[in-house]
Chain A
């Protein structure tokens, strides 16, 4: 979306509609909070929504695309066409500040910045990586990782040593 040209009412309305379309696997945040909606383009025949998938194998991708299409049509803005844009690859850095706060309120520790992530040349066993994942419930930094993988591809499992609550962490990618 260009910052220089004001979007048409139809496109602006579409963005507001998309802001209410929830991620089926993390129903606390919307597809725009997640940062996967990259563009909304008005064509003569349809409204095109450009989506960048999160993980290569995320089983929610097709469901999300369908939900987007249905929401646009239900709002009277259709017909809708959802297209995929692979590059640049989605990163958790695209999750909005509002999205991060919603994750935290939902009990999922939001991801840190990817800038500090390991690169191909300095891969180390995960247990050696220093992780500052604050507990989403009590805010304590005294946490430990229980499992590198969780209920979905995008999450890992942690435990708070201070309040003893287990919680999920949205992995930085």
Chain B
């Protein structure tokens, strides 16, 4: 350590003279209908961000390409929903993605959990891909008959993409779940870690009730049977057991996130916050 540095000035007048280099956050207070769509849009966006972390790190080249292609579809779906909701509130997609604070994100907590760091591994990515792709597939299919024409149009495209995502994830769940002793062990650990977060996918609150009432979209609880009908046979073929239900409830969809979310947003938002208004 050098001792040549003078102590930094800490008086209030000096620190006030330093210009801020970050962008101010936006405050977006959505209606119930908008919040309903943001839950799905944010889940697509945050899931995509986690998948993108695998770029250059997946166990084989083909899967590296696959995970980033899945992320690309999810970013596209998120863009469509954020643009649609933002247009009603005077924000564009970039403002909603990069300038909201953590509490204003409404993604399912499952999407934000670490993918490849903090003791997680590829098995976590594989299991989460199936759990979320199946959930989105069922939800998109129901949103095809949304009373909101734009939402229905977005769903009409996304449901086809999610079908391919489910098939691809199912392939890997079976391959690793019914693979070697080591892959089976890791898959069981991943299932045990992630399964408790699936309860949130089927909770119902006032926002869902308002959406169901208006015909915008289904209650989350209405997705569970069809979701299980996709997940259960894959788990069975993979030799994986579905864990017993627990009392744990994650709360990302209500804006209260896990300890991992802040780090994710710091990385995702840094460019836009450092270079306000920057575009490609």
Contacts and interface: CB of A to CB of B under 8 A. Distances in A.
Interface of A: 53, 55-59, 86-91, 117-121, 123-127, 129, 146-151, 153, 157, 171, 173
List the 8 shortest-distance A-B pairs measured between CB atoms, nearest first.
Answer: A57-B76, A56-B76, A86-B153, A87-B153, A147-B62, A57-B72, A89-B156, A125-B171
A50 to B, nearest CB: 13
B127 interface: no
A59 B156 contact: no
Given A53-B157, A56-B158, A87-B153, A123 B74 contact: no
Q: Is the interface of A mostly helix, strand, loop or mixed?
A: loop
Contacts of A129: 167
B106 to A, nearest CB: 20
B123 interface: no
A61 to B, nearest CB: 9
A55 B74 CA distance: 10
Contact of B66 (A120, A121, A148): A148
A55 B72 CA distance: 9
A149 B138 contact: no
Interface string B63-81: 0011001111111110110
B163 interface: yes
A88 B167 contact: no
Given A87-B152, A88-B156, A125 B174 contact: yes
Q: Is the interface of B mostly helix, strand, loop or mixed?
A: helix
Interface residues of B, number: 43
A89 B76 contact: no
A152 B149 CA distance: 29
Given A87-B149, A126-B168, 14 more contacts: A55-B76, A57-B72, A86-B153, A91-B160, A120-B138, A120-B226, A120-B230, A123-B167, A125-B170, A126-B167, A129-B167, A148-B168, A153-B73, A173-B164
* Residue among B70, B76, B158 with most chain A CB within 10 A: B76
B66 A90 contact: no
B73 A89 contact: no
Nearest to B66: A149
Contacts of B79: 56-57
Contacts of A57: 71-77, 79
11 contacts: A55-B161, A56-B157, A56-B161, A58-B76, A87-B153, A126-B168, A129-B167, A147-B66, A148-B168, A149-B168, A173-B160
B168 A124 contact: no
* Residue among B134, B164, B174 with most chain A CB within 10 A: B164
Contact of A55 (B73, B137, B138, B159): B73
